[in-house]
């Protein structure tokens, strides 16, 4: 049985992005796979009064069951309102790869979907994206398309190398597809291993520093489609403090490096209205769980290690919203 996102208490991303563009901030889009991650996102964004996009990837739907995830998300809205949070919440399909998947999500109450045809030849990407837009807009669901390819591995998204977005194509793509937002490639990358060590330099503390984002490409895209909402995927900072905790307690995250926070803040002040964060959430939870397992080896109650991991993730989200995305207080 199909259900509309309005019935579930979600909003689409149209007004979110209009306000973000005018206010010089980006709406956080946090991925979740289980209850604890979702609780942390709702509490972190509620406490910081930030709009939020709950993201579900196709991989998450396979892992947790699509029906269960939908009901979790629906319950999260009720949880937020009971706690007194009035910030807008969208439910978004991350990296949808087919019209059928997008339709399934729309019928399940998603308020926004992404159709990622970036791996296809340009004309095929345009045609597929247009089909999704035509269907989604009939239900007032917003659609995100993508031009350019991000390298890295995250869930079902795998690419060996980045292909920067060609500014010469963006105006044609937006006009012919009718998308509401556009994910671009300017140097971000999926996963915790976003860059090879050979691509990086080292600062005075010996920490790997990735190559800077291509703000020149972003600027040109802004000029080609002024006022249009831009999205950055693969934007976790791979927070060094949590990488260190993971490695200290038996992990092996060598040469893990992410996008510097100051570069993301710069992007958020531009036409970038949505920034995706997934790996940082995984790292925070893994770090806390490893720490508890090492320091309390007798512990076996999942609540005793998932609970602290959830709280740490909540803190990280509040910090991101305040200092990186600029979305705190914008709900």
Catalytically active residues, by annotation:
94
The structure tokens 């060094």 sit at 240
Alpha-carbon separation of residue 201 from 7, 121, 255, 312, 317 (angstroms):
50, 34, 12, 30, 28
Token pair of 74, please? 């629906």
- Minimal CA–CA distance to 146: which of 181, 182, 179, 113? 182
Do 133 and 178 meet the contact criterion of CB atoms below 8 Å apart? yes
Q: What are phi and psi of 55, to 5 degrees?
A: -110, 135
- What are 112's strand-pairing partners? 92, 142
Do 36 and 42 meet the contact criterion of CB atoms below 8 Å apart? no
CB atoms within 10 A of CB 320: 28
Number of H helices, E strands in the chain: 13, 12
């Amino acid at each position: 049985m199909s259900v509309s996102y309005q019935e579930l208490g979600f909003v689409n991303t149209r007004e979110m992005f209009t306000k973000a563009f005018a206010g010089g901030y980006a709406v956080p889009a946090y991925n979740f796979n289980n209850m604890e991650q979702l609780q942390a996102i709702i509490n972190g964004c509620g406490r910081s009064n930030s709009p939020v996009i709950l993201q579900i990837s196709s991989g998450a739907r396979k892992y947790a069951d699509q029906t269960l995830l939908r009901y979790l998300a629906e319950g999260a809205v009720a949880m937020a309102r009971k706690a007194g949070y009035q910030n807008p919440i969208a439910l978004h399909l991350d990296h949808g790869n087919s019209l059928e998947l997008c339709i399934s999500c729309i019928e399940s109450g998603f308020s926004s979907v992404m159709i990622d045809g970036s791996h296809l030849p340009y004309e095929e990407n345009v045609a597929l994206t247009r089909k999704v837009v035509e269907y989604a807009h009939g239900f007032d669901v917003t659609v995100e398309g993508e031009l350019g390819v991000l390298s890295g591995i995250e869930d079902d998204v795998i690419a060996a190398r980045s292909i920067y977005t060609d500014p010469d194509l963006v105006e044609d793509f937006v006009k012919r597809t009718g998308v509401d937002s556009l994910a671009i490639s300017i140097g971000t990358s999926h996963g915790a291993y976003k860059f090879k060590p050979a691509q990086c330099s080292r600062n005075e503390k010996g920490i790997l520093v990735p190559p800077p984002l291509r703000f020149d490409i972003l600027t040109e895209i802004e000029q080609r489609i002024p006022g249009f909402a831009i999205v950055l995927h693969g934007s976790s900072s791979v927070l060094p403090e949590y990488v260190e905790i993971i490695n200290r307690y038996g992990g092996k995250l060598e040469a893990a490096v992410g996008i510097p926070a100051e570069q993301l803040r710069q992007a958020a002040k531009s036409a970038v209205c949505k920034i995706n964060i997934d790996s940082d959430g995984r790292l925070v939870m893994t770090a806390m769980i490893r720490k508890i397992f090492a320091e309390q080896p007798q512990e076996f109650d999942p609540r005793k290690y998932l609970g602290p991991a959830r709280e740490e993730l909540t803190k990280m989200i509040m910090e991101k919203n305040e200092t990186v995305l600029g979305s705190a207080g914008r709900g």
